[in-house]
């Protein structure tokens, strides 16, 4: 974890105005919806002070008002999906932070500075049937991932055995299985700060083949409620991309980044037919003061749904937008948080919903790395900053999200029961004057059969990503 020099007394006296400065910079990002469509109302500014210690024994108040209108009208009746099974046995324990063990890392193949994996890694997913001949090292399957920021193309690589070393040169390198392919064509033009999610799921509904489900967007999307999700085939030579669709009619600042699988058992009890989770956290809290998460199943709207369709979604996590005058906030939230991906962990009789990213520690502000608060000018590029940062895996209790899905708890009530800090394993410590200091992580993938979590560090090997490997035990 990087430790900057102590902030000056002058900064301490000015932090109180940083939210007002951020509001001035970001007003209108959420497009202020009409009443009743699930977005928070305007209100007093929220505190931007963060707390590094997450309470590991959070008891959510299930008696609080749960009348949260998300305008999604999801049918969770068991008749909606043939997999629904009221007698399914779900894990009864949660994954403890200390049971997420680090195993090492591996490199991705170098294909050039302006193409391939360099400057990339915005999305990652595990495919269990990939690299059929490469399982002798204990890491079968393959990874599909997104490459360079400029193109956001998709490729497939093998998974070598991880090596524990802080020297990238000591790490084994994955091999290419399928070359980079443009799976979105002219749907998007230039990407300004891409936001991409990717997840493999076996055939659902009337589908004959498994699909790679994706979300697509970028840093600034002031147009708000626009289509952002789709799917494509595993054969990248003929991806047959379908989409784009809107998730529940929600603003894309809440939906169009990470995508990951919801286990079939949990979904059959809590969200029948909705086997995917998607969400987004936008820095500064413009999409909510914490990570968002929604269950969805686009195959229920067609095979595929019509382009531009709105597919149903059920909220699992939804904190208030940062100008709202309430306390519907992730504990320890700061303006400089950056939650980038997620995975539904299961190991033996334990489970957890993991949200991965970087959390700001202490005071946060909108301005410059030296503590200057905008509109005053300081060195470097303008952005959201904090006194310190922690590369972190937040752990949520799946039973809490089940209560949300069943309408027994408001979507802002769940809080992490614990976290696992992983900064000690990262290979690159960014200079203090780099605006992206807090974006030290970018994407993740999960091998459910072996309880292996893959977390991508974007600049672990120069401009190349490094993939870190963690094994989860019950």
DSSP codes joined into one string, 318-335: -PPPTTSSS----TT--T
More confident site: 87 or 68: 87
pLDDT class of 381 with cuts at 50, 70, 90: confident
Q: Say if residues 314 and 74 touch (Cβ distance below 8 Å).
A: yes
Distance from CA of residue 111 to its chain's centroid? 26
How far apart CA 41 and CA 311 sit, in angstroms, is 24
As given in the structure block, the two tokens for residue 285 are 């809290």
Residue 170 three-state SS = helix
For the chain, give the percent of residues with pLDDT over 90: 61
pLDDT of residue 222: 78
| Mean pLDDT, the chain, whole residue set | 82
pLDDT of residue 151: 84
The alpha-carbon radius of gyration of the chain (Å, integer) is 21
Point out which residues pair with 447 in neighbouring strands: 452
Candidates 197, 195, 196; CA nearest to 219 is 195
pLDDT class of 3 with cuts at 50, 70, 90: very low
pLDDT of residue 359: 92
Residue 319 three-state SS = coil
Mean of the pLDDT values across residues 366-374?
91
Q: Is 0.85 surpassed by the pTM of this model?
A: no
How far apart CA 83 and CA 333 sit, in angstroms, is 37
How far apart CA 173 and CA 180 sit, in angstroms, is 17
Per-residue model confidence as pLDDT tens digits over 69-96: 344 444 444 344 444 455 788 999 999 9
What stretches of 4-67 show up as alpha helix (H) in DSSP? 9-14, 18-26
Question: Phi-psi region for residue 13, left (φ > 0), alpha (ψ -120 to 50) or beta?
Answer: alpha
Highest mean pLDDT among 17-21, 318-322, 380-384, 468-472: 468-472
Strands 310-311 and 242-247: parallel
As given in the structure block, the two tokens for residue 147 are 């490459």
Q: Say if residues 467 and 109 touch (Cβ distance below 8 Å).
A: no
Length of the chain: 474
Mean of the pLDDT values across residues 160-167?
96
Q: Inform me whether the pLDDT recorded for 365 exceeds 80.
A: yes
pLDDT of residue 51: 39
């Amino acid at each position: 974890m990087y430790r900057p020099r102590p902030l000056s007394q002058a900064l301490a006296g000015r932090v109180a105005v940083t939210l007002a400065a951020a509001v001035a910079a970001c007003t209108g990002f959420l497009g202020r919806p009409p009443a009743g469509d699930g977005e928070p109302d305007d209100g007093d500014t929220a505190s931007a002070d963060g707390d590094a210690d997450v309470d590991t024994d959070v008891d959510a108040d299930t008696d609080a008002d749960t009348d949260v209108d998300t305008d999604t009208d999801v049918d969770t009746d068991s008749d909606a999906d043939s997999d629904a099974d009221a007698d399914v046995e779900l894990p009864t324990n949660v994954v403890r932070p200390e049971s997420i063990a680090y195993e090492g890392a591996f490199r991705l193949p170098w294909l050039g500075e302006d193409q391939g994996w360099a400057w990339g890694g915005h999305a990652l997913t595990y495919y269990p049937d990939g690299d059929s001949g490469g399982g002798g090292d204990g890491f079968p399957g393959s990874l599909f991932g997104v490459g360079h920021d400029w193109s956001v193309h998709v490729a497939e690589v093998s998974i070598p055995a991880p090596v524990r070393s802080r020297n990238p040169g000591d790490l084994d390198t994955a091999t290419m299985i399928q070359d980079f392919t443009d799976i979105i064509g002219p749907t998007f033009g230039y990407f300004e700060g891409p936001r991409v999610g990717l997840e493999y799921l076996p055939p659902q509904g009337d589908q004959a083949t498994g699909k790679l489900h994706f979300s697509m967007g970028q840093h600034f999307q002031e147009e708000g409620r626009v289509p952002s999700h789709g799917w494509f085939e595993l054969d990248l030579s003929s991806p047959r991309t379908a989409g784009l669709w809107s998730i529940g009619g929600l603003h894309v600042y809440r939906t169009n980044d990470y995508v990951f699988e919801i286990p079939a058992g949990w979904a059959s009890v809590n969200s029948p037919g909705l086997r995917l989770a998607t969400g987004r956290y936008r820095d500064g809290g413009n999409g909510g003061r914490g990570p968002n998460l929604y269950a969805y199943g686009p195959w229920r709207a067609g095979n595929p749904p019509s382009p531009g369709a709105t597919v149903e979604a059920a909220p699992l996590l939804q904190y208030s937008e940062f100008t709202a005058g309430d306390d519907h906030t992730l504990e320890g939230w700061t303006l400089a948080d950056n939650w980038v991906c997620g995975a539904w962990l299961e190991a033996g009789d334990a489970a957890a919903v993991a949200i991965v990213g970087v959390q700001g520690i202490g005071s946060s502000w909108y301005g410059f790395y030296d503590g200057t608060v905008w509109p005053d000018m300081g060195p470097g590029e303008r952005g959201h900053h904090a006194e310190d940062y922690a590369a972190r895996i937040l752990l949520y209790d799946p039973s809490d999200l089940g209560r949300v899905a069943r309408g027994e708890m408001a979507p802002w009530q769940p809080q992490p029961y614990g976290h696992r800090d992983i900064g000690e394993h990262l290979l690159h410590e960014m200079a203090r004057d780099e605006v992206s200091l807090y974006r030290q992580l970018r994407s993740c993938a999960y091998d459910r059969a072996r309880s292996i979590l893959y977390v991508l560090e974007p600049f672990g090997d120069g401009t190349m990503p490094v993939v870190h490997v963690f094994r989860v035990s019950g």
